[in-house]
């Protein structure tokens, strides 16, 4: 039984040491190089007296950054990825709760560390990865590690403006990777096209299956996602056959009708998540790649990334929703109503080893969402409240309804902003949309992209929606604002209305 996530690397190393594990257009690392370099840097971290504590990895997105993650783990530490595209204030707030003493950086980030208020010890990757590793020290760390030790701490947005550091242990990550790889059917011929920044948990879908299955992950340059045709050319050039992307990255290609001109010829597996996939855009993908597998992947960072899956093996009608599907192995999904009773519609709560350790150095906010299972009064058992609402269909599959905080009371009626968006996305000429609620003004505003006019869309919504759900104001945008991880920036749009 595996108790350390890096046992995947060591098993694969014995099979294909010289195969490329991670690459981008500028560089590549084989499994042997990943192993050697990460253990060398880990040895230097240990020699400096650091173990069982967070190691900040502040590097440009590249294969070496992934190897740096493993350096921290080999040293018995947890890694904390940050990136120069993250706002300076956000990083400073992360450091306030993290209180890091050690960092791995590179030539592109070294000069930025002092601006962030970091005063600890730095290891420059280029120099630290040279030389031999201390096998005795590394072996001693491995013997002392257990599977409930944290692997990483990834920071997500907090409603108060203070980021929350989600700590995930080896056992949670191992369970996730085992189930995920089985469902997705990865093998040594899998070539991932990585889209997600490495400081978001969605990147786990590429990074760790590569270790387990002996695959290859290709890091796609961020700028290509602004040029859909060039992006498809890149997928073909590197023979990428598998992507696990946020929905907005996929809709960018389909909405601009790139698939009418060029179809990724090697792509055979598409995982999507992060947001609801507009059915019109999904159908364009399914029609273009009828033989490919499409899987809807759902799960929060606090649930080790992915908790549910559904294989979307057909096209859907405009008024349908793509289901969330079923739980992964060793995960149970509870739908709890307002009285904490099991219901056919309620808040998605996660039970099992997928539940993370909680928020790092933040017991207050941990206790708000990581709670005792209200259905179990006999022994301690922590579940995670996601804040997402879902309902159980007649076929037993779950279907996303909305966020709890997207469920509003307007004109005396309960309104799901997600239902408004689903109706908007079904209209001809609409690419994507976002409905926001201005609480102080008690009004709903809609933002969208597409070819249809604002008045035309408004008239159509008066037919398809109840009067109290029709947005007070409708604004057409040239492009939908996105967060760093590719989701629609709802906070920004809400502030525009205020």
List the CATH number of the domain containing 464.
Answer: 3.30.300.30
Residues 6+ away with beta carbon under 8 Å from 428: 452
Q: What is the pTM of this model?
A: 0.88
Q: Is 248 a member of any domain? A: no
Which of 91, 303, 280 shows the shortest CA–CA distance to 176? Answer: 303
Q: Is 91 a member of any domain? A: yes
Strand 331-336 and strand 326-327: the pairing is unpaired
Strands (E), 220-343: 242-246, 269-273, 293-298, 308-311, 326-327, 331-336
Which one of 115, 145, 175 terminates a domain? 145
Helices (H), 256-384: 279-288, 363-369
SS3 at position 377 = coil
| Residue pLDDT tens, the chain, 498 long | 789 999 999 999 999 999 999 999 999 999 999 999 999 999 999 999 999 999 999 999 999 999 999 999 999 999 999 998 888 888 998 999 999 999 999 999 999 998 898 999 999 999 999 999 999 999 999 999 999 999 999 998 765 567 899 999 999 999 999 999 999 999 999 999 999 999 999 899 999 999 999 999 999 999 999 999 999 999 999 999 999 999 989 998 998 899 999 999 999 999 999 888 989 999 999 999 999 999 999 999 999 988 999 999 999 998 899 999 999 999 999 999 999 999 999 999 999 999 999 999 999 999 999 999 999 999 999 999 999 999 999 999 999 988 887 777 777 676 878 889 888 988 989 998 999 999 888 889 999 999 999 999 999 999 888 888 899 999 999 999 988 777 788 889 988 766
Write out the residue range of the structural domain in which residue 429 sits.
407-497
Q: Is 260 a member of any domain? A: no
Q: Is 222 a member of any domain? A: no
Which one of 145, 173, 193 terminates a domain? 145
Q: Cβ(62)–Cβ(40) under 8 Å?
A: no
Q: Is 311 a member of any domain? A: no
Which of 256, 255, 293, 301 shows the shortest CA–CA distance to 274? Answer: 301
Q: Is 49 a member of any domain? A: yes
Strand 121-124 and strand 164-169: the pairing is unpaired
Q: Cβ(207)–Cβ(19) under 8 Å?
A: no
Q: Cβ(294)–Cβ(313) under 8 Å?
A: yes
Q: Cβ(150)–Cβ(168) under 8 Å?
A: yes
CA-based angle 110:113:118, to the nearest 5? 140
Residue whose structure tokens are 């944290």: 150
How far is C-alpha 414 from the chain's CA centre? 30
The whole-angstrom separation of Cα 270 and Cα 253 is 13
Token readout for 23 is 């690459």
Altogether, the residues listed in the chain come to a count of 498
List the CATH number of the domain containing 44.
Answer: 3.40.50.980
How far is C-alpha 160 from the chain's CA centre? 21
Task: Write the burial class of residue 410 (CB in 10 Å: 0-12 exposed, 13-18 middle, 19+ buried).
Answer: middle
Number of domains in the chain: 2
Which one of 86, 117, 145 terminates a domain? 145
Q: How many CB atoms lie within 10 A of CB 117?
A: 11
Token readout for 490 is 């709802």
What is the torsion angle, in degrees rounded to the nearest 10, for the CA atoms of residue 55, residue 56, residue 61 and residue 63?
A: -10
Token readout for 401 is 């309804």
Distances from the Cα of 285 to the Cα of 154, 296, 432, angstroms: 31, 13, 15
SS3 at position 104 = strand
Residues 6+ away with beta carbon under 8 Å from 255: 281, 431, 432, 449
């Amino acid at each position: 039984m595996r108790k350390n996530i890096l046992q995947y690397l060591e098993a694969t190393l014995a099979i294909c040491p010289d195969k490329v594990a991670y690459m981008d257009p500028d560089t590549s690392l084989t499994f042997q190089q990943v192993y050697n370099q990460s253990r060398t840097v880990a040895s230097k971290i240990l020699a400096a007296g650091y173990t069982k504590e967070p190691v900040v990895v502040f590097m440009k997105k590249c294969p070496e950054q992934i190897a740096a993650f493993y350096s921290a783990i080999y040293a018995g530490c947890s890694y904390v990825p940050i990136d120069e595209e993250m706002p300076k204030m956000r990083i400073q707030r992360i450091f306030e709760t993290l209180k890091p003493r050690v960092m791995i950086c590179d030539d592109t980030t070294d000069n930025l560390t002092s601006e962030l208020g970091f005063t600890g010890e730095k290891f420059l990757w280029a120099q630290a990865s040279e030389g031999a590793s201390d096998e005795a020290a590394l072996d001693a760390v491995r013997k002392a590690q257990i599977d409930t030790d944290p692997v990483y701490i990834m920071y997500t947005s907090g409603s108060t403006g203070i980021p929350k550091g989600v700590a995930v242990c080896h056992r949670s990550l191992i369970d996730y990777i085992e189930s995920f790889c089985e469902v997705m059917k990865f093998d040594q011929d899998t070539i991932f096209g990585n889209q997600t920044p490495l400081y978001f948990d969605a990147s786990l879908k590429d990074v760790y299956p590569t270790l387990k299955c002996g695959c290859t992950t290709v890091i796609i340059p961020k700028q290509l996602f602004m040029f859909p045709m060039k992006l498809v050319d890149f997928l073909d050039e590197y023979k990428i056959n598998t992507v696990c992307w946020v929905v907005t990255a996929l809709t960018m290609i389909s909405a601009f009708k790139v698939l009418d001109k060029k179809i990724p010829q090697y792509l055979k597996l598409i995982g999507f998540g992060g947001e609801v996939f507009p059915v019109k855009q999904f159908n364009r993908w399914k029609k273009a790649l009828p033989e490919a597998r499409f899987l809807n992947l759902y799960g929060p960072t606090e649930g080790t990334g992915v908790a549910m899956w559904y294989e979307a093996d057909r096209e859907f009608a405009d008024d349908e929703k793509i289901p969330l599907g079923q739980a992964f192995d060793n995960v149970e999904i509870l739908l709890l109503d307002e009285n904490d009773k099991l219901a056919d519609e309620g808040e998605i709560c996660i039970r099992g080893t997928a539940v993370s350790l909680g928020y790092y150095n933040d017991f207050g906010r941990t206790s708000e969402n990581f709670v005792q299972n209200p259905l179990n009064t006999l022994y301690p058992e922590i579940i995670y409240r996601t804040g997402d609402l879902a309902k159980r269909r007649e076929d037993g599959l779950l279907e996303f309804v909305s966020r709890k905080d997207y469920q509003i009371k307007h004109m005396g009626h309960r309104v799901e902003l997600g239902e408004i968006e689903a109706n908007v996305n079904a209209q001809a000429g609409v690419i994507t949309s976002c409905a926001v609620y201005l609480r102080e003004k008690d009004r709903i505003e809609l933002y969208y992209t597409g070819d249809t006019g604002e008045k035309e869309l408004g008239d159509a919504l008066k037919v398809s929606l109840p009067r109290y759900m029709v947005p007070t104001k409708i604004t057409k945008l040239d492009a939908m604002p996105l967060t760093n991880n590719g989701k629609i920036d709802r906070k920004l749009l809400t502030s525009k209305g205020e």
